[in-house]
Chain A
Amino acid sequence: GAGVSQTPSNKVTEKGKYVELRCDPISGHTALYWYRQSLGQGPEFLIYFQGTGAADDSGLPNDRFFAVRPEGSVSTLKIQRTERGDSAVYLCASSLKAPGEALWTDTQYFGPGTRLTVL
């Protein structure tokens, strides 16, 4: 079966613009995660969805960042008024983790990421 896919693979935008990054999780995976990875760093947690709802958005850096998952499958990460510091690879991951199950009971499968460059 298909893995996690993300589009676009690369996005170049200008400071102040709005961008949307899309994630298609593995079919049937109820849990979806967004991470941000800067060069030479590990992935940094942004937000976690269980089904359609954001179960934990504590990693979103500020209110310019927002994510949705309206039908419990595809998710979109939205960034308003982009800044140069937003440049990074945005990674999406999905898992079969059920509500209430401990995070560590299931493997997260990562997509290839979207490389965002803000000029």
Chain B
Amino acid sequence: GQSLEQPSEVTAVEGAIVQINCTYQTSGFYGLSWYQQHDGGAPTFLSYNALDGLEETGRFSSFLSRSDSYGYLLLQELQMKDSASYFCAVSYNTDKLIFGTGTRLQVFP
């Protein structure tokens, strides 16, 4: 089946940089998205990559390498409010998103 792999947990301190990796199965791949979800909250869209390279949006950047079936989310200048779960999600040649199991980021002062 179609599955994604990402680390279960990452910890960092305020002001640091953290990278959350995601690997996926290639067949039918269209694009890779990233969503943020705070405890008890709704997932919110962060970024999308369809082509190889880096997409930058403020403190957050996302990277994709289609040849390696790999992407990552880069969070810079970490703030306490960035503590949340981060999900990669893949669009295959269907109308649905397949989500990873999520990476829980804890930011410490």
Q: Identify the A interface with B (CB < 8 A).
A: 4, 33, 35, 40-45, 48, 50, 55-56, 58-59, 91, 93, 97, 102-104, 107-113
Return chain B residues, CB-CB under 8 Å to A112.
Answer: 41-42
> B95 is contacted by which of A35, A43, A56, A111 (Cβ under 8 Å)?
A56
**Selected A-B contacts with CB under 8 Å, 28 pairs:** A33-B97, A41-B102, A42-B87, A42-B99, A42-B100, A42-B102, A43-B87, A43-B97, A45-B96, A48-B96, A55-B95, A56-B94, A56-B95, A56-B96, A58-B94, A91-B42, A97-B95, A102-B30, A102-B91, A103-B91, A103-B94, A103-B97, A104-B31, A104-B33, A104-B50, A107-B48, A109-B45, A113-B42
| Cα of A103 to Cα of B98 in the assembled complex, Å | 12
Extra contacts besides A4-B42, A58-B96, A104-B33 (11): CB < 8 Å: A41-B101, A43-B97, A43-B99, A56-B95, A103-B91, A103-B94, A103-B97, A110-B43, A111-B42, A112-B41, A113-B42
CA distance in complex: A107, B102 (Å): 19
By the criterion CB–CB under 8 Å, are A104 and B42 in contact? no
Least Cβ–Cβ distance between B68 and chain A, in angstroms:
19
Residues of B within 8 A of A93 (CB): 43
Residues on B close to A: CB < 8 A?
Answer: 30-31, 33, 35, 41-45, 48, 50, 87, 89, 91, 94-102
List the B side residues contacting A58 at CB < 8 Å. 94, 96
CA distance A29 to B33 in the complex (A): 20
Given contact pairs A41-B101, A112-B41, A104 touches B48 in the complex (Cβ within 8 A): yes
Instruction: Name the CB-closest residue of B to A6.
Output: B42
Leading 6 A-B pairs by shortest Cβ distance:
A42-B99, A104-B31, A110-B42, A45-B96, A104-B91, A107-B45
Residues in A with CB closer than 8 Å to B99 are 35, 42-44
Q: Which residues of A contact B96 (CB under 8 A)?
A: 33, 45, 48, 56, 58-59, 103
